[in-house]
Amino acid sequence: MRTLIILFSILVSFQLSANHVKKGFKELAASNYSYSLFHFQKALKKDKAVAAYGLTKLYLAPGMYNIDSCFKYILMSEQSYVLLETKKRLKIEEYHCDSIAIFALKMTISKLFFERLMKSPTLESVNDYILIHPWSSSIPSAIDTRDSLAFSDALVVNTSACFQNYMDVYPNSKLVNEAQVHFFDCQFKENTGSNKLEDLEAFLVNYPESPYREEVEDSVFKYYEIGNNINELTYFVRHFSTNRNVNSAWRKLFQLFMKDYSDQRLEEFKGLYADFPFMTELNNEIDLFKSTFYPYKKDGKYGFIQSNGEIIIAANYDQVSPFKEGLSIVLSGEFYGAIDKRNHLVIDGKFDDMEDFNLGKSIVEKDNVFGLVDRVGNFIFPLEYEDMGWLTDSLLYAKKNGAFGIYNASNSVQSELFFEDIIPFDGDFARVMKNGKVGYINRQLAFVLQAEFDDLIPYTDSSFVYTIADKMGLVHIKNNWKTNAVYDEIYPLHNGISMVRTKDKLGYIDAKGNLILALQFEQFPNFSKVGAFTKDGALIKKKGKYMLINEKGKITLPLPYESIGEWGEWIPVMKGFKWGFINQKAKEMTLFEYDFVEKVTNGLFIVEKNGVSGLLATNGSFVMALGFKSIVQLGTNLLLVEDKNGFGVFSRDGQIRIPAVYSQIKFYDKDTLVLYKDDVISYYFLVTGIFVHPK
């Protein structure tokens, strides 16, 4: 009899615990946090795994938010769940408590810890995070932060010994290459600061691997390389033929002579300088300029390869730009210069920044002032402007004494108008600011809209959205009409109709500003995108309900969902906080089971479920099965994917174009992708499907 009483007590105890769990989740769902806390704590002894899981969710709720408690209980839940028998695990699945859910919640909490940490990170606190949360998806960011903090400390000390220590302690840091740059920089300054000849020679003996070696070797030559004058360089090459830099002098002479490239100029050079030591190169100059070079990376430095992967320029630069007009902007140490395709330095590395060449000229920056140089480094605009940029291919804007003027490439003023700000031409017009007001000028540098508006945004090819006193209207530059400024926002024109907003109400106007649908519709997430008119109508929300309307405002399709996506063959809609799809007749085409949906085309969607992504077609099948960490659009016809091995590229029909093994992939130009892996840069030609790797 006593045994039966004990068994009955045990059963009652377990039943009570189970009731507490059930009530805990019920009260949590009703936001009755104190009751939920009571029940979960009561259940904690008998049903630790699920009760601790419930307590974790409770402490994530707004009224109880405490991530320290969350962390305590999720670890408790995880540890207890491992010990549960299969039968017990099945019983608690009704509370969505399983190993996957527990791990996902643990990851969320670790991410919250990281977000809190990043508000005021220290080297010690970040190291603690890395030790305590090794599973966290934020660990790479934490490691980067730790390395950055340590690097900042090294920058404060700023000695070669300090940077060497950083590289020894953090050999895998993303900043190790930058640390190496600073290391070499400090090493150079510490040993050559006197600029005495004996010190320079000692540096070459003691530090033969320094990237500053060539700079030191060239120091003597620089005493003679003055004026950047053709006559002076001609004298040098013919009177100092044994100097180790004589080849550099010849090459600079060639660039000075050839600043205006043409066949005629090349023949003239050949006639005047028959003793040019690189005559074969000169004869191949035109062919060389027609060839394409691609940047590659090795040991943290950059150089160039040809399309067959052959290395043309060794990786000796900290940064390079693609060749334009036969020249590449390169960074060596702290400063930018320019090289030609034979890797000859045609403009010394002396600028803080340089832009790509435009018609033989480059905008340069030094000590926060700007100038313009030709292709051999001679100044056309001196270094004295506060800002500078290309307005068109042949016109520049330059700021001096707080005002922008318009100049040609020979430094002649082209307009009597001066502005407080100016933005390059977009089509036929350029945006300018004068006396705090915005206007537009044409390519004849005359006002098409006087500077009398608070803001102007292009609307059509001949009309603009203007703003005055925070209200918007339309103004036409040809037909001389202007609507009243009555709207808080005017959205882009689609199919001849624009959405407008006043306060929290939406309506629609035509291209002339006439109100065709009154301000009666409600705002909703992504309304500015999906609310635009298509050939089928516009998606709107009214009285809390979604619907499709035509241009007359007539409801053509009611849409009883919580949220809605872009109109198409299939339309993403949300029900029960999950996304699914309906067709254009509102028939539900899929289950509502996705956490995220993004339209790729009318027939393809990127979908995410339980943290993994796939590509779903409107025939209901997966073109790419759920299983990727991420899928994003890459250009027009490609998809960039990430899995556990890295990044790759698929076509929209699900075919692998590039295997997912790279750390980064991006466009080099419209026909070429650049691939990064293990400090190596490769290329993939989209048209031919050929990979190019440095040989």
Tokens 């029900």 found at: 575
8 Å CB contact between 240 and 220: no
8 Å CB contact between 310 and 189: no
How many residues belong to the chain? 695
Q: What is the pLDDT of residues 77-113, one digit of tens each?
A: 999 999 999 999 999 999 999 999 999 999 999 999 9
Taking 60 as the threshold, does the pLDDT of residue 7 lie above it? no
Name the nearest CA neighbour of 450 among 440, 463, 461, 462. Answer: 440
8 Å CB contact between 377 and 388: no
Q: Quick one: three-class SS letters along 83-142?
A: HCCHHHHHHHHHHCCCHHHHHHHHHHHHHHHHHHHCCCCCHHHHHHHHHHCCCCCCHHHH
8 Å CB contact between 166 and 150: yes
Amino acid at 690: I
- Nearest-5° angle of CA 667, CA 672, CA 674? 55
**CA distances to 31, 52, 110, 130, 349 from 66, in Å:** 16, 14, 13, 20, 54
8 Å CB contact between 375 and 259: yes
8 Å CB contact between 418 and 401: no
Q: What is the pLDDT of residues 266-305, one digit of tens each?
A: 788 889 999 999 888 878 776 776 688 999 988 889 999 9
pLDDT at 225: 65
Amino acid at 252: K
pLDDT at 360: 79
Q: Is 530 helix (H, G, I), strand (E, B) or coil?
A: helix
Cα–Cα distance for residue pair 159/82, rounded to 1 Å: 52
What's the whole-model pTM score?
Answer: 0.58
Cα four-point dihedral sign 678, 681, 682, 685: positive
Beta strand ranges found along 138-268 (DSSP E): none
pLDDT at 679: 80
Taking 70 as the threshold, does the pLDDT of residue 332 lie above it? yes
Tokens 């190496």 found at: 180
Does residue 11 or residue 242 have the better pLDDT?
242
pLDDT at 9: 41
Cα–Cα distance for residue pair 161/366, rounded to 1 Å: 29
Cα–Cα distance for residue pair 265/286, rounded to 1 Å: 12
What percent of the chain is predicted at pLDDT more than 90? 68
Residues in Cβ contact with 416 at an 8 Å cutoff, skipping those fewer than 6 apart:
none
Q: Which residues pair with 521 in a beta bridge?
A: 506
* DSSP code per residue over 406-467: EEETTS-B--S--BSEE---BTTEEEEEETTEEEEEETTS-EEEEEEESEEEE-SSSEEEEE
Tokens 């920044």 found at: 353
Give me the mean pLDDT over the 373-382 stretch.
88
Alpha helix (H) residue ranges in 481-552: 527-530
Q: What is the pLDDT of residues 411-460, one digit of tens each?
A: 889 988 899 999 999 889 999 999 999 999 999 999 999 999 999 999 99
Kindly state the tokens that stand for 82: 């491992």
- Nearest-5° angle of CA 443, CA 447, CA 448? 85
Just give the CATH number of 2-117. Answer: 1.25.40
Cα–Cα distance for residue pair 523/546, rounded to 1 Å: 11
- Write down the domain spans for the chain: 2-117, 139-215, 237-378, 563-662
pLDDT at 669: 85
pLDDT-based confidence at residue 648 (cuts at 50, 70, 90): very high
pLDDT-based confidence at residue 14 (cuts at 50, 70, 90): very low
8 Å CB contact between 564 and 574: yes
pLDDT at 519: 95
Taking 80 as the threshold, does the pLDDT of residue 1 lie above it? no
Helix H or strand E encompassing 213: helix 213-217
Report the mean per-residue pLDDT for the chain. Answer: 89
Q: What is the DSSP letter of 355?
A: P
Q: What is the pLDDT of residues 545-580, one digit of tens each?
A: 999 999 999 999 999 999 999 999 999 999 999 999
Q: Is 306 helix (H, G, I), strand (E, B) or coil?
A: coil
Taking 50 as the threshold, does the pLDDT of residue 532 lie above it? yes
How far from the centroid of its chain's Cα atoms is residue 392's Cα?
Answer: 26
